[in-house]
A and B are shown apart, each in its own frame.
Chain A
Amino acid sequence: MTATEITPRSGSAFRKSARPMWDEEPSLAGKLFKALFLVCYGAAIVLPLWAVLATSLASEEALTRAGGNLLLVPTEVSLQAYREIFSGGALTDSLLLTTALTLGGTAISMAFTICGAYALSRTGSLLHRPILWFILLTFLFGPGMYPSFLVVQQLGLFNSYWSLILPGAVGTFNIIILRAFFMNSIPGELIDAAKMDGAGEFRTLFRIVLPMSKAILAVIALFYAVGYWNMYFGAVLYTPGLETQPIQVVLQRMLMSTQGLPEGAQAAAQYQAQGEAAPTAALKMAVVVCTIIPIVIMYPFIQKHFTKAVITGAVKG
């Protein structure tokens, strides 16, 4: 790595706070333009999210008055929509299912990833190179949608929740990131010392390597968890026949039913058959809020490590 070397200076990815002496004050127009650019971009992200939250808290009447769509100010705050979600109906089931898939899937994926990355970080061991190539080659060629579908069918996983976890359980890219971290950021002397003291590979992994890698493990776990939580296409492809669907599929059906589309008309008919009203804007937005909240809760703890993970993956490989 010569040209693409990236080494954040002084531990932080940013320069220090004060303007350096040699740097002239930028012109007012330049400052204004930059501020406008950044503020507009930030507002374009924050305002819709705020409107979603406000609408999810609005009462039925306030919504009707506003034309049945998004509100910026919830005049009469009501938790009706959230009560409906958690009242034990199909939405509750879906949220529980998605939570279970996310927790179980992330645990399985992390187990695969940690074991694989550690084995590959010990260079020079038996079959090390063939195994590394076996993993790297997967980057070059994807098997294609239909053959993957066929194999899931052959394994008897079609319309089974396992098909939402197993086919995508190993993120080879995450293995490479974690392997690079193990190789570059954990001193070899430490591992050798552990070996001298008679620790086997398993003990070294669990007692020395993993405790030193908490930050990067957290980031990778977040990537996996977000993948499972946001699972949509996997469910459309592999489990179309199941009664309880992941929350993203449910949200998509709600969206279609209010856009007045053919598929939505079906969904609306389904709601009617089950004796439920078609979802109101508040209910829909409350579901959106429920899918965002777990991400927003996890996010601040892990955000500070993002840069490190991305750079490890991109540069050190």
Chain B
Amino acid sequence: MAGNEPSARPRSPHLQVYKWTPAMAVSILHRASGDGLAIVGACMFLWWLGALAAGPDAYAAFLACVWHDPSPEVGIVHQITNIVGKVVLVGLTWAFFQHLFSGLRHFVLDTGAGYELKTNKLWSIVVITAGVLATAATWLYIMAGAL
């Protein structure tokens, strides 16, 4: 397959050679956020769902690992996983919005619209900005409720 057979034909330059554009960034972010959701997001969801089904003790263990360990002396493992868990959850929130918004962009592109250079650039920037803003708004809402 590609790369395995010797060939004298010129090869496509790699990512770092290209000048980054919003459309290129949104395309790569669509794949990155999708793969993050597919692997990390789906596993987190199944872990949460399994803990919920297994009962109060399993659910408490899940929360103590991912979110907050309520015991007076928190072990080093949970001190780390409590931080990692929140970072992962914020990351998944961003991946969700990024993939949702750029997915909606793809639905528009599927109709044949939005390929003009300026329009394409504008909506690529809108998608990336909206993903970050929606993530920030979500966590501000969550933190406002928690306080």
Partners in one complex: no
Interface residues of B (CB under 8 A from A): none
A positions within 8 Å CB-CB of B: none
